[in-house]
Amino acid sequence: MNTLLHRIAVVGGGQMGAGIAEVCARAGLDTIVCEADATAARAARERVAVSLERAVQRGKLDRISAEDALTRLVFTTSLDDLADRQLVIEAVTEDADVKTETFAALDKIVEDHGAILATNTSSLPVMRLGMATGRADRVVGLHFFNPVPVLPLVEVVSSLHTSRDTREAVTAFARDTLGKTVIRSQDRSGFVVNALLVPYLLSAIRMTESGFATAADVDAGMELGCAHPMGPLRLADLIGLDTVAAIAESLYEEFKEPLYAPPPLLMRMVQAGLLGRKTGRGFHIYDRDR
């Protein structure tokens, strides 16, 4: 296996996919982003452009580097364009069936059978996705955190089939090429971070749901009383309430622990399309232009 990974693809250009594509482009990598249609592809490019401009305005990136990164990205609507990639990072919606179908399709398209297929799933079993392919030993979890260009952590998740070479190659890629800090987890729902974080978020939602405290007071309590940089409900809004619900459902399905069960209020908000920052309203209200 070639451990020098420089031809990269990201499948899905939403909040997470765009961030992953951005950090790959900023690292000088040949990066293709695949989206479902032309409208989604344009939106993905705009997400990256806005993020790069924000980095320039904050003095985190110079203008020339930002422009170079954007021109290094190629956007497509066809998975067939990913045939020559050495590493494909899946970042589609947190839905097991959609992800499984994506991996099965990629397995047939990516010509180099030494190539690695990685998933950015927050909670779904890497094993399930690997078994949808004929290369389960080269399927691995590569879980970034939002916002990807800012947060330094990546979880590398090995299934029972993931080979040591695969694990070491993606670890080196995330650590040495992208400059991320890597922690490793076995293939269990929630991995390390979400298995610890999500019960905390759900507890905050239950507290608000019961009328024990307002969302503003819950967040102020944890920010000012515990020195958290962001309260749990504002953090849930940032992650996306649909994503929080999906992770909670996956955790509950695997462990059957009541603390993992998504509260009714969370599910109602998801059904209503009140998903947090990305829709302008969740537990708090946001200016979507910012």
Total H helices, total E strands in the chain: 11, 8
Determine how β-strand 87-90 pairs with β-strand 73-76: unpaired
Q: Which amino acid is at 238?
A: L
Q: Which residue has the tokens 């090995």?
A: 158
CB 122 within 8 A of CB 150: no
- Paired tokens of 181: 């800090």
Just list the catalytic residues: 122, 143, 155, 194
181-186: strand order across its sheet: 73-76, 30-34, 7-11, 87-90, 116-119, 139-144, 153-158, 181-186
Length of the chain: 290
- CA angle, 190 as apex, 246 and 178 as ends, to 5°? 105
